[in-house]
């Protein structure tokens, strides 16, 4: 049962990443965090999470932690989330606000960072 639940969580994480990646491609903008962004994506998974790909990574890690069946991986996941926020989320959000101004601030007020 644990493995089935883990597979579901991993599949949700992979699906979320693929869905978000498709949104980037549809908007003809980069998925790479430090390259210039040409579009603000607000639809699809970006309608409920400002960073669905990072959320997907955390879901994948959580599924792996479930498969491993020990507590130690659960220590790494919050540390990884903290690092993502510090090294990627914060700089990305500053860049998006500089690029899209009030439109991004409105989006940021409407949609949560993770969930």
Q: Show me where the domains of the chain are located.
A: 2-110
Among the listed residues 66, 45, 65, the one whose alpha carbon sits nearest the alpha carbon of residue 56: 45
pLDDT above 90 for 42 = yes
Alpha-carbon distance of 76 to 107, in angstroms, equals 30
pLDDT above 90 for 34 = no
pLDDT above 90 for 1 = no
Q: pLDDT tens, 2-18? A: 999 999 999 999 999 99
Alpha helices (runs of H) in 1-115, residue ranges in sequence order: 2-26, 52-68, 72-84, 90-100, 102-110
């Amino acid at each position: 049962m644990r493995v089935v639940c883990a597979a579901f969580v991993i599949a949700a994480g992979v699906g979320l990443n693929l869905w978000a990646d498709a949104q980037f491609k549809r908007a003809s903008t980069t998925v790479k965090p430090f390259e210039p962004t040409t579009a603000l994506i607000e639809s699809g998974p970006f309608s409920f999470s400002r960073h669905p790909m990072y959320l997907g990574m955390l879901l994948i890690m959580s599924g792996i932690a479930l498969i491993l069946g020990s507590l130690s991986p659960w220590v790494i996941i919050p540390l990884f989330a903290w690092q993502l926020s510090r090294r990627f989320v914060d700089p990305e959000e500053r860049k998006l606000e500089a690029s899209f101004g009030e439109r991004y601030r409105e989006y940021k007020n409407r949609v949560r960072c993770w969930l």
